[in-house]
């Protein structure tokens, strides 16, 4: 038997409430993994719910959550001048979820599916060493020289100039009003517009943590499959490998997919988790999470990194 999904909240180390949902099977959990889904910037957890339902129907327990300032973790007082950063999303929000999963699902292997910036926040969570496997999709740090060269100027103007200007004027980015992702805290937009290829020179270098932030990535030693998509203007192979380079002690693999590989004309940065790919892309994720392997012919295309 399976229980219906349950909405709940976890409390972060800095005393914020993070909204989450879990799909959990009843009965003996031996051998069953629990999957945490770490979202992309300005994407609500509910976007991943159909994917979560697929994983659950395939035998996994699943937990989704919203970062602070987004969706079910939006503060009651609104986002104007609400303080949030990518570092907070990782070291506090995802960390709180991983601690919850460790406590509530004792003995079960913990896996993470990380979309876009979720592949970065994973490395900032002190409990990342508890993660057995990670699957990342389009995971990168929005370093603009890694963008698709044909779209780079347009993307820089939109994401690194217009977006922070609007956020500065409103005290947050009113994405929902503009039909452009979700409302986003000002601090997140500022960091997005100023990311540097060298992690130690990032705009959050003033954060004091133990261990230091760059070293946190070295705590993660799980099996990692990073998927890049040929028509993803953010998650280019260069961008994917730049982020993978931070996970120095993980067992890293890279799989580059063309839309034609699954008989479609486009996938892009966001659509991997759309239900229209439930019969094509989602089984790849499930196979990796449950076995750490890829089905043929994709297995032959895996590239070890590092």
Asked whether residue 157 is domain-assigned, the answer is yes
Report residue 150 as tokens: 């044909």
Q: Collapsing DSSP states into helix, strand and coil, what is residue 239?
A: helix
Asked whether residue 26 is domain-assigned, the answer is yes
Structural domains of the chain, count? 1
Mean pLDDT of 84-94: 95
> Taking 90 as the threshold, does the pLDDT of residue 134 lie above it?
yes
Distances (CA, A) of 105 to 29, 31, 84, 98: 8, 12, 29, 10
Asked whether residue 1 is domain-assigned, the answer is no
**What are the beta bridge partners of residue 162?**
none
Eight-state DSSP code of residue 32:
-
pLDDT one-digit tens code per residue, 176-219: 999 888 999 999 998 888 766 555 555 555 455 666 777 889 99
pLDDT computed for residue 297 by the predictor: 87
pLDDT computed for residue 30 by the predictor: 86
How many angstroms separate the CA atoms of 244 and 261, rounded?
23
> Taking 90 as the threshold, does the pLDDT of residue 116 lie above it?
yes
How many angstroms separate the CA atoms of 51 and 58, rounded?
11
* Nearest in space to 113 (alpha carbons), one of 225, 271, 230, 261: 225
Q: Collapsing DSSP states into helix, strand and coil, what is residue 146?
A: helix
103 touches 11 (CB < 8 A): no
How many angstroms separate the CA atoms of 73 and 184, rounded?
11
Q: Within a 10 A sphere around the Cβ of 182, how many other Cβ atoms?
A: 20
pLDDT one-digit tens code per residue, 255-287: 999 999 999 999 999 999 999 999 999 999 999
How many angstroms separate the CA atoms of 291 and 273, rounded?
20
pLDDT computed for residue 1 by the predictor: 57
> Taking 80 as the threshold, does the pLDDT of residue 290 lie above it?
yes
pLDDT computed for residue 194 by the predictor: 75
pLDDT computed for residue 220 by the predictor: 96
Nearest 5°: phi and psi at 284? -65, -45
pLDDT computed for residue 288 by the predictor: 97
Asked whether residue 83 is domain-assigned, the answer is yes
Asked whether residue 250 is domain-assigned, the answer is yes
pLDDT computed for residue 234 by the predictor: 96
Q: What percent of the chain has pLDDT over 70?
A: 94
Tokens 């270098």, located at residue: 205
- Cα dihedral 69, 72, 76, 82, rounded to 10, equals 0
The Cα angle at residue 13 between residues 10 and 17, in degrees rounded to 5: 35
Distances (CA, A) of 212 to 69, 78, 88, 111, 125: 25, 31, 14, 24, 12
Q: Collapsing DSSP states into helix, strand and coil, what is residue 119?
A: helix
Identify the CATH number of the domain in which residue 241 sits.
3.40.50.1820
227: enclosing H helix or E strand = strand 223-229
Domain with 39 in it: 6-305
Asked whether residue 213 is domain-assigned, the answer is yes
Eight-state DSSP code of residue 303:
E
**What are the beta bridge partners of residue 113?**
37, 135
> Taking 80 as the threshold, does the pLDDT of residue 78 lie above it?
yes
Asked whether residue 45 is domain-assigned, the answer is yes
pLDDT computed for residue 195 by the predictor: 66
Q: What percent of the chain has pLDDT over 90?
A: 81
pLDDT computed for residue 31 by the predictor: 87
pLDDT one-digit tens code per residue, 16-33: 999 999 999 998 888 899
How many angstroms separate the CA atoms of 162 and 175, rounded?
12
């Amino acid at each position: 038997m399976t229980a219906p999904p349950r909405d709940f909240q976890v409390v972060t180390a800095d005393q914020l409430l993070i909204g989450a949902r879990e799909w959990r099977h009843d009965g003996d959990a031996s051998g069953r993994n629990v999957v945490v889904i770490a979202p992309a910037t300005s994407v609500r957890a509910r976007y991943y719910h159909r994917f979560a339902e697929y994983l659950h129907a395939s035998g996994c327990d699943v937990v989704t959550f919203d970062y602070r300032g987004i969706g079910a973790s939006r503060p009651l007082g609104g986002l104007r001048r609400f303080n949030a950063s990518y570092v907070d999303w990782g070291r506090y929000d995802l960390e709180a979820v991983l601690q919850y999963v460790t406590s509530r699902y004792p003995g079960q292997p913990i896996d993470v599916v990380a979309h876009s910036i979720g592949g970065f926040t994973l490395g900032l969570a002190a409990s990342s060493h508890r993660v057995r496997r990670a699957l990342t999709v389009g995971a990168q740090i929005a370093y603009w020289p890694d963008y698709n060269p044909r779209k780079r100027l347009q993307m820089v103007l939109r994401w690194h100039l217009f977006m922070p200007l609007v956020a500065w004027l409103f005290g947050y980015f009113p994405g929902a009003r503009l039909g452009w992702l979700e409302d986003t805290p000002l601090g997140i937009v500022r960091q997005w517009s100023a990311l540097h290829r060298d992690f130690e020179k990032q705009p959050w270098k003033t954060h004091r943590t133990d261990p230091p932030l760059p070293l946190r990535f070295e705590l993660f030693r799980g099996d990692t499959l990073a998927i890049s998509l040929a028509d993803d203007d953010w998650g280019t192979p260069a961008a994917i490998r730049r982020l993978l380079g931070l996970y120095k002690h993980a067992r890293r693999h890279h799989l580059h997919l063309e839309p034609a590989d699954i008989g479609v004309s486009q996938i892009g940065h966001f659509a991997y988790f759309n239900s229209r790919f439930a019969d094509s892309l989602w089984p790849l994720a499930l196979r990796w999470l449950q076995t750490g392997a890829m089905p043929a012919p994709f297995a032959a295309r895996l590239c070890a990194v590092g």
